[in-house]
Amino acid sequence: MNDELSSDDVLSRHATAIVMTAREKHHLSQSGVNDVVAEVQAYQAQLLNSLRSQLQTVFNRHAGSELQREALGLFDSFKDPFAAVSTSYRQDSVIKEKFNFVEAEEVSVGLAVCRQKRKNQRDLAIKNKCFHYIPLIKSLEQLMSHPKIFAMINGGSQKCSSGYFYDIIDGELMLSHPLFSSRPSALQIILYSDEIEICNPLGSHASKNKLLMFYYTLGNINPKYRSKLASIRLLAIAKQSELSECGVDAILARLHEDLVKLYNGVKIHLPCGEHEIYGAVVSVCGDTLAQHELCGFKEGVGFAYSKCRHCECSFEDMQMFFNDENFEQRTLERHIRQCSDIEKASTEYLRNSLKTTYGINRRSKVMDFPAFNLIHQTPQDIMHVILEGIAPLEIKCILKQLVLLGQLDLDAFNADIIGFPYSPQDTRDRPSPIAYSTLASNDNKLKQSSGQMLVLLKIVPFLLDVIKGTAYFSFILELLEIIHILFSPVINLETTDKLKVLIELHLKHFKELFSENNITPKQHYLIHVPSQIKLLGPMLRHMCMRFKSKHCFFLKMGFKSKFQKCL
């Protein structure tokens, strides 16, 4: 492409790329970027003057000629490549002009009365409540304008051998889905939603500046590239307080418009020419709170009779049965009927009673997504279910029991954690020592991050070698075997059947060893994972850890620019 551009254009594009790197990758403030550009321009001017002076000295040794005048004239005609990006306005203009920029839409969701400062007084004013949405189809057009990505997507995903699950395309959903079964190369959209806190979560502005983020990626992208943060793209961003009345359905309604167009086929313009694309949502990922909010289920499952979005289990049944065949599975048809019952309830008391019984708050806009089943296509996230739920709970129960029985010295255990020879990859996420107060607390937390918990699970058999041969050690090995399967990138059909048996036995052993503890909802969710692997491929392909990492970009940008002041 550079062969078709003039040398001035090439230099200008490089200058713009430098500015974008400083602003977007290294999160410099706008004033910082402008200062860098100004200093580079000053250095560039000094460099040109120095080169001109040296060249003049060389020419002075020889008689004047047309060559001398022409050569020195090049310095006078040199165009400053940074002139076009010397201010924030110019930077934005050049980016929009030369880099296939997709501008966000500001979507109004209502009006609010606020006070605005004018001179020395604060007057009442009306402002728009809104969220920002990046048009999905334009975003896909920009993404696919890259020739390598277009070739990867247009070439279609390679299926595994029969009986093996490597990616989404190997799941049973692709065979029964009305779009993917007829158009295997259709875009597999993976949605993710989460809340982030811009300010100090313990500060006075904590809830005021909470943001709701929507991202997406494509299941058509090879998994080794899909884990790159560049493949995860922002879809919408909203201030949580702006959605207090309309809720998340306002964002879903705008997304629904693009999904309908995409499902029916839409033409996009690429460097190689016009191309028609099709696509649909293949899964909605997130933690339990986010998935339940999007899909209209009770967000706090403790207040619902039916505590699971995949089946209609009660608290009592959850403590007794550990096989999904023992529960009445939810279906889309029954869910639609239950939503209708709630909407038609004659009194507020009856409506609230039905919500509690069904575990449903409302009919979600997600149900209107083309060919989307919110019961089957909202997979459990192994980061939240395992690393932030089951693993901390069960390891904590074991450590507490061993300390009470006098079979474990917690100080020695912590010393082993600190002194363990971690690999270079694990050093950054090495676990923190566990305090006595942490074990004594009534929650299910070990105060470890997801990364730390993953490393702790790797080394815990070595740390607890003193109890080898006991029922507690066998229980840990059962948990690790389940986790190894869940985090495996390739799983065969026989292993999913084995996983189902392992989970059932493991939960039974938990009740035997810790009879005073209740089975938690996250432990119950585990029994649905084998069927989800068969439907959507390995759970690793729907894990939220990389989506969570995407937050870092916006958090850094917020802290650098003191974002809370302009929200």
Confidence at residue 1, expressed as pLDDT on a 0 to 100 scale: 43
Question: Which pLDDT tens digit goes with each residue over 43-64?
Answer: 788 878 877 787 777 777 666 6
Q: Higher confidence at residue 432 or residue 117?
A: 432
Q: How far apart are CA 303 and CA 106, in angstroms?
A: 36
Confidence at residue 200, expressed as pLDDT on a 0 to 100 scale: 59
Q: How far apart are CA 320 and CA 322, in angstroms?
A: 7
Q: Are 236 and 208 in contact (CB under 8 A)?
A: no
Question: Which pLDDT tens digit goes with each residue over 373-428?
Answer: 999 999 999 999 999 999 999 999 999 999 999 998 999 999 999 999 999 989 99
Confidence at residue 296, expressed as pLDDT on a 0 to 100 scale: 92
**pLDDT band at 282; cut points 50, 70, 90:** very high
Residue 203 has pLDDT above 60, yes or no: no
- Helix/strand/coil percentages in the chain, nearest 5: 55, 15, 30
Give the rounded percent of residues in the chain with a pLDDT score beyond 90: 57
CA contacts within 13 A on the Cβ side of 166: 10
Residue 71 has pLDDT above 90, yes or no: no
Residue 100 has pLDDT above 60, yes or no: yes
Confidence at residue 205, expressed as pLDDT on a 0 to 100 scale: 54
**pLDDT band at 158; cut points 50, 70, 90:** confident
Q: How far apart are CA 282 and CA 188, in angstroms?
A: 6
Residue 359 CB partners (closer than 8 Å, separation 6+): 297, 298, 301, 304, 305, 306, 307, 308, 309, 312
Confidence at residue 92, expressed as pLDDT on a 0 to 100 scale: 81
Confidence at residue 206, expressed as pLDDT on a 0 to 100 scale: 55
Quick count: other Cβ atoms within 10 Å of Cβ 200?
11
Confidence at residue 533, expressed as pLDDT on a 0 to 100 scale: 96
Question: Which pLDDT tens digit goes with each residue over 215-259?
Answer: 999 999 999 899 888 899 999 999 888 887 788 999 999 999 999
Q: What is the DSSP string of 13-74?
A: HHHHHHHHIIIIIS---HHHHHHHHHHHHHHHHHHHHHHHHHHHHHHHTS---HHHHHHHHH
Residue 505 CB partners (closer than 8 Å, separation 6+): 478
Could you give the strand order of the β-sheet that contains 279-285, starting from the edge strand earlier in sequence? 105-118, 121-133, 233-239, 210-218, 187-197, 279-285
Question: Which pLDDT tens digit goes with each residue over 349-371?
Answer: 999 999 999 999 999 999 999 99
**pLDDT band at 82; cut points 50, 70, 90:** confident
Task: Give this prediction's pTM.
Answer: 0.85
Residue 537 has pLDDT above 70, yes or no: yes
Q: Are 182 and 175 in contact (CB under 8 A)?
A: no
Q: Which of 442, 271, 435, 292 is nearest to 358 (CA)?
A: 292
Quick count: other Cβ atoms within 10 Å of Cβ 110?
13
Q: Tell me the angle at which helices 493-513 and 529-536 cross, rounded to the nearest 10 degrees.
A: 160
Residue 319 CB partners (closer than 8 Å, separation 6+): 511, 518, 519
Distances (CA, A) of 502 to 435, 479, 483: 31, 9, 11
**pLDDT band at 79; cut points 50, 70, 90:** confident
The neighbouring-strand residues paired with 285 are: 192
CA-based radius of gyration for the chain: 29
Average pLDDT over residues 550-564: 68
Strand 279-285 and strand 187-197: the pairing is: parallel
Confidence at residue 207, expressed as pLDDT on a 0 to 100 scale: 61
Q: Are 389 and 522 in contact (CB under 8 A)?
A: yes
**Between vectors from CA 98 to CA 271 and to CA 261, what angle results, nearest 5°?**
55
**pLDDT band at 2; cut points 50, 70, 90:** very low
DSSP state of 197: E
Residue 26 has pLDDT above 80, yes or no: no
The neighbouring-strand residues paired with 269 are: 274
Q: Which two tokens stand for residue 407?
A: 């079979």
Q: Which two tokens stand for residue 286?
A: 């997130």
Confidence at residue 44, expressed as pLDDT on a 0 to 100 scale: 81
**Terminal-residue alpha carbon distance, the chain:** 41
Q: What is the DSSP string of 228-262?
A: SGGGSEEEEEEEGGGGTTT-THHHHHHHHHHHHHH
Q: Are 82 and 94 in contact (CB under 8 A)?
A: no
If you average pLDDT over every residue of the chain, what do you get? 87
Written in H, E and C, the secondary structure of 60-102 is: HCCCCCHHHHHHHHHHHHCCCCCHHHCCHHHHHHHHHHHCCCC
Average pLDDT over residues 84-106: 82
Q: Higher confidence at residue 118 or residue 310?
A: 310
Q: How far apart are CA 144 and CA 152, in angstroms?
A: 9
Q: How far apart are CA 371 and CA 373, in angstroms?
A: 7
H or E segment to which residue 136 belongs? helix 136-144
- Can you say how many angstroms the Cα of residue 67 is from the centroid of all Cα atoms in its chain? 60
Q: What are the backbone dihedrals phi and psi of residue 280, each rounded to the nearest 5 degrees, phi first?
A: -160, 160
Q: How far apart are CA 108 and CA 131, in angstroms?
A: 7
Confidence at residue 90, expressed as pLDDT on a 0 to 100 scale: 82
**Helix runs in 405-520, H state only:** 410-419, 424-427, 436-440, 450-463, 471-486, 493-513
Confidence at residue 566, expressed as pLDDT on a 0 to 100 scale: 47
